[in-house]
Chain A
Amino acid sequence: MFLESDIWVMLAGALCAMSCACVGCFLVLRKMSMMGDAISHSVLPGLAIAFLMTGDRSGPSMLLGAVVVGVLTAVLTQYIHKQGQVEESAAMGVVFTTLFALGLMIIVYFLDHSDIDASCVLYGSLEAAATWEFEWNGYIFKTKIIQLAIILALNVLVIFALFKELKISSFDPALATTLGVHAGKLHYVLIILVAITTVTAFDVVGSILVIAMLIIPAATAYLLTQRLGLMIIISMLLGALGSVLGQLSIIYLLPAWGLPDTFSSGMMTVMVTVFLILAILFSPKSGILFKLIRHLQLGKEIFMNRVLGALYRTEEEQPNFHHLEQIQKTYPVRFKWAIWLLKRNAMVVADGKQWRLTENGEVYARKLVRSHRLWENYIFTNMNVPVDHLHYQAASLEHVTDESLLEQLAETTSLEHDPHGREIPQKKSKD
C-alpha cells in the first residue's frame, strides 16, 4: 500500500543519496573510498559526546561533533602513518575501529538505550526520520527533510564553487600544488563535507549504508562517463533513482514475491548495487557485454574482409595465396554466413558454383589489398621483420587503416610492388 509517508521516505532517501553521491565522486576519484568507510564509523563518538553534552539529538552540536571527529580521523591516520611508519590503510583501520569502539562504549555505558540505539547506528530509520516535524507560523515542516536539503545544498554549493580546484587536485595533486591550489587543504574540505554528510545521513540510512551511498553511485557513474561534471550529475541521479525505486520495490515488489517488509535503507542500497552491476555489464565504453559484442562484430568484419581479399586475389590470379577454398574448408559455417552477408551488401554475386566481386565489391577489396601490401612494405623497410612474417603482421593492421592513414602510408612507401613482388593496386583516380 502506498502511503503518504512513503513519499517522505523517498524524498529523504533521495536527498541523502544525492548529497552522498556528489562528495562520493571525489572520494572515488582520489582513491579515498575507504576514508568514507572510516569516517562513517568514526563519527559515532562525536555524536555520542555531543549528545552527552547537549542532550540534543539533531542539532548543530551533532554536526560540530561529527566534523571534529571526522577531521580527527584523517589527522590521526596521517599522524600514525607518518610518525609510526604504519601503512596508510592499516593506520586508518586502527583509527576508525578504535573510535567506533569508543563511541559504542559511550553510548552503552553513559547513555540510556532509549537515547541513541546502537542498532539504529547500523540500519538507520528512514520511516522515523520522515515523521519528525516542527511547526512554524502555522505551517508544519519535516525537520529531517529540511536538514537533508540544507546539507545537499551545501555540498552542491561547495563543489560548484571549488569545482576546478577539486578537479585538478584530484587528477594531479603535484600539478595542483605548483599551480597554487593547496591539495592538502582541499583534502580537509572534502573530509569535512563527508563528515557533515555522514552525520546527517546517519540516522536516515545508518552509518554503514552511508558508505554505499557515498561510493556505489559514484563508482557507477565513473564507469559510465569520463567527464567529471557529468559523472557528478549521473551519480546524483542514480542515487536519487535508487532511493525511489528501493522504496517502491518494498511497497510493490516484495509483497508480490511474498516477502515481508524490510529496512528501506537496505533496499535502496540493493537498488544502487543493481545499477552498478548493470553498468559493469552494459556500460557503452567499458561494459563487459559491450566489449563482447564489439569483439564479435570485429571478428565478423575481419572475416568478411578476408573473404573479400581472397576473392580479389583469386581474380588477380594468385591462386596459391590464401586461397578462397582454404578459408571455405577451415571455416565452412562462417564462410557461408560471410558470403550471405556480402551478397546482401551487393559486394559479391554468385557465378555458377563460384563467386564473383561486383564492381562495388571490387573497389572495396582493392582498397583492402592495397592497404595490406602497403603495410607489408612499410614494415619491411622500417623494421627488421623477415619476409615470411610480413603477412601476419600486415593482416593485423590492414583492418584498422582508414583513408588518411592509408594515404600517409602510400606517401612513405612509393614502391609499386610489395616485398613478395606482387603489384600494389593503385588507388582509383576519381575523375
Chain B
Amino acid sequence: MNWLAVLLGSVSHANWPDEETVIRLFTLQDYNTRVVLLGVTALGLASGIIGSFMILRKRALLSDSIAHATLPGICITFLILSAMDINSKNFFFLLFGAGLSGIISILCVQFLRAYTKLKEDAVLGIILSSFFGFGVVLMGFVQQHPKGNAAGIDGYIFGKTASIQAHDAQMLMINAILICIMSLLLFKEFRLICFDSCFAATQGWPVLKLDILLMGLVVIVTVIGLQAVGIVLVISLLIIPPAAARFWTDRLFYQVLIAGVLGAASGFFGAAITALFERLPAGATIVLVSATCFFVSMVLGSKRGMLMKFLKKRELDHQVLEQNLLRAFYELHEDDEGNLIPNKGARLNDLLIMRSWLENEVQAGIRILTRKGLVTKDANHNFVLTELGGIHATRIVRNHRLWEIYLITHADVATGRVDRVTDKIEHILGDKLVARLEHIVAEDYPHLHVPASPHPISGGKI
C-alpha cells in the first residue's frame, strides 16, 4: 500500500499551524496575507453576483468559453509589448488584451449562432477550443521569448494567488465595487431580460445591448480574476456560488446577495487555508471550498434543499397516514346511518384489513395519533378513538364522502374507482376548496352530518 503511505505521509507531515498564526491570519495582521485575502474575497463577491445573472440567463457555460478565449489576447499583448520594448508585464495592457479577445469570442459565438446551423453547445465548444488552441500556439512563442517566463504568463492559466500585489488587490476591489453598482443600477433590467427577453423586447428594452453589457461585465470579472485563480477556476466562481445560492431563496435579490456572500466566503476561506498550509494550490482550494458550500446548500438549503424537500414529503406522508387511519377507525365502527358508534375498540388486525397497508405502517400511524391524543388504549388493550379523535375522524370521513359524491355526480367517475381517485386528492385539499366543495354538494347534507358511503366499504364490515 505504497500510495496510502504517501497519502498519510503528506497529511502527517503537513505543518499544522499554531494558534497564533491562525489569529494573525484572521485578524489580517500580515500585510501580504491581507492583500491576498481582500483581493480574493472581492473577486468571489463580484463573480457570485454577476454569475447569478448569467446562470439565470441560461448561459452558465458561456463564461467557460469566454474565460478560455482570453488566452490568445494575453499572449498577443505580451508579444506586442515586448516587441515594442514596453514593460511586458504591464498589467493593464495584458488585461485589455484579454478583455478584447474575450469580446471577440462573444461576437464569434453570436455570428456562428446566427449564420450557421450549428447548435448552441457545439458553438460554445468550438469557440472555447479554437481560441484556446490559438492561444497555445502563441504560448509556444511566448515561452521561447527571452522574457517569457519572467512575465509569468503561465500564471494566467493556473493562477498565482500568492503573488497578488497591492495594486492587484485594488483592481479586484474596484472591480467588485463596479459590479455591485452596475447590478444595483440595472437590477430591474437584468431581471427582465433574464426572465422573459421576448417581453422585454416588446417593451422597447434593448435586449441585445443589455445582453452584451452583461457579458461584458463577465469578461471584466473573468479577466481580472484570471491571475488570481486562473482560467479554468475563475469559471467555477462564476457558476458554483450562484448555483448554491438558489437553494436558499426564491427571490432574485437575495439570490444575488447570497451568491455574492458565498463567493466572497469561498474566496476568503480558500485563501486563508492556503496561507495556513504549505504547498496547497490556492485556486483549487478556493474552488473546493465553494464546492463544499454548494453541496452543503444542496442538502440543507432552506428553499430547495434536499433535506427540506424530504421533510416536507415525510410530513405529507404522515398526514396521509393519519387521515387514512382515522378514517379506518371510523368506518370500522359506523352504523347504518353513517354515525360513529363511540368507544368501540379496534385491534391491529381489524385496522390492517381496511386497506392494503403494512403492519409497521399502521403501528407508526397509531403512535403518532396516540401522541396527538386522538387515540388511546382501552382496558382490553384495544385501540379506541378519543373524543377529539372522533371529531377529527368525522370531519375526515365527511370530506372524503363529499368528494366521492362530487366526483360521481359532477365528474363522471365510476363508483368502483371513486375511492381510489378520492384518496389521491383529498389529503392535499386546502380549507378554501373544502368550503367550496361543501357549497356545491353539501346542500343535501346538513353540517357535520356524514353521508353514507356511495360504495361498499372494503374489508372490515362484510
Contact = CB atoms under 8 A, between A and B. Distances in A.
B306 A84 contact: yes
By secondary structure, the A interface counts as: helix
Interface in B1-33: 2-3, 6-7, 10
A185 to B, nearest CB: 22
A381 interface: no
Interface in A97-155: 97-98, 100-102, 104-105, 108-110, 118-119, 122-123
- The 10 closest A-B CB pairs, nearest first, are A262-B140, A269-B133, A266-B136, A97-B236, A212-B129, A101-B287, A266-B137, A33-B125, A93-B239, A98-B291
A270 interface: yes
Contacts of B124: 33-34, 37
Contact of A122 (B112, B136, B240, B285): B136
Contacts of A266: 133-140
Interface residues of B, number: 64
Contacts of A267: 137
Q: Which of A36, A37, A270 has the most CB of B within 10 A?
A: A37
Interface stretch (B114-122, B334-342, B432-440, B451-459): B114-122
Q: Which of B6, B137, B236, B298 has the most CB of A within 10 A?
A: B137
Contact of B132 (A36, A100, A208): A208
Given A219-B118, A261-B140, A269-B129, A118 B158 contact: yes
A32 interface: yes
A215 interface: yes
A304 interface: no
Interface of A: 28, 31-34, 36-37, 41, 52-55, 80, 83-87, 89-94, 97-98, 100-102, 104-105, 108-110, 118-119, 122-123, 206, 208-209, 211-212, 214-216, 218-219, 222-223, 259-263, 265-270, 273, 276, 280, 286, 288
A100 B130 CA distance: 21
Given A32-B121, A105-B288, A109-B281, A123 B136 contact: yes
Contact of B294 (A34, A94, A286): A94
Contacts of A109: 10, 279-281
A399 B230 CA distance: 59
Given A269-B129, A273-B133, A215 B60 contact: no
Contacts of A53: 3
Given A28-B122, A123-B139, A97 B132 contact: no
Nearest to B306: A83
A280 B116 contact: yes
Contacts of A55: 2-3
Contact of A286 (B116, B134, B233, B306): B116
Contacts of B144: 260-262
B141 interface: yes
A97 B133 contact: no
Contact of A263 (B137, B239, B287, B304): B137
Interface string B230-242: 0011011001101
Nearest to A37: B125
B192 interface: no
B128 A97 contact: no
B283 interface: yes
Contacts of B419: none
B6 A94 contact: no
Contact of B240 (A85, A98, A208, A262): A98
Contact of B288 (A101, A208, A265): A101
B129 A208 contact: yes
B126 interface: yes
Q: Which of B10, B55, B116, B279 has the most CB of A within 10 A?
A: B116
Nearest to B63: A93
Nearest to B294: A94
A37 B125 CA distance: 7
B157 interface: yes
B42 interface: no
Nearest to A111: B6
Contacts of A97: 232-233, 235-236, 239-240, 287, 291
